[in-house]
């Protein structure tokens, strides 16, 4: 009798089949933090991720390295840094890679807006 450890559509895949399946961004009410939800293909070998947030001018306002994650479904909090008022449009990119990031094995990009103090 076989007892599956994973649903058949979620069985761990070899590293060349690993992709970013979901990248969701949700600003917190304080406007200086954002919730990042990343979901990747279930994996056999643990991947690395680099998550970078940029403002409208393309300046990095936050970044995070995840080395050999153990989870395929992850949540993080990024802090918007070096701004007095975080209101505006931002872009978050997530690169998935193993040995080298140039080029990444997969990349996802999401755009989000932090409302002004009056709009929140």
For the chain, domain boundaries: 8-114
Q: CB–CB of 31/117 below 8 Å?
A: yes
Give the pLDDT of residue 13.
92
90-111 pLDDT, tens digit per residue, is: 999 999 999 888 899 999 999 9
Q: Give the angle subtended at the CA of 71 by the CAs of 58 and 42, to the nearest 5°.
A: 100
Which residues of the chain have a pLDDT value below 70?
1-9, 119-120
Taking the mean position of all CA atoms in its chain, how far away is CA 74?
A: 8
pTM assigned to the model: 0.87
Give the pLDDT of residue 8.
59
Q: CB–CB of 62/78 below 8 Å?
A: yes
Q: To the nearest 10°, the Cα dihedral for 38, 119, 90, 56?
A: 180
The yes or no reply on domain 8-114 and CATH 1.10.3720.10 is: no
């Amino acid at each position: 009798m076989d007892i599956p450890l994973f649903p058949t559509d979620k069985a761990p895949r070899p590293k060349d089949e690993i992709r970013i399946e979901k990248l969701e961004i949700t600003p917190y009410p304080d406007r200086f933090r954002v919730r990042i939800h990343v979901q990747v293909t279930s994996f056999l070998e643990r991947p690395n991720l680099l998550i970078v947030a940029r403002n409208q001018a393309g300046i990095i306002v936050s970044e995070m390295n995840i080395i050999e994650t153990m989870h395929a479904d992850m949540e993080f909090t990024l802090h918007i840094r070096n701004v007095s008022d975080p209101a505006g449009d931002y872009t978050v990119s997530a690169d998935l890679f193993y040995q080298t990031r140039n080029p990444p094995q997969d990349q996802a990009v999401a755009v989000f807006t932090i409302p002004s103090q009056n709009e929140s």
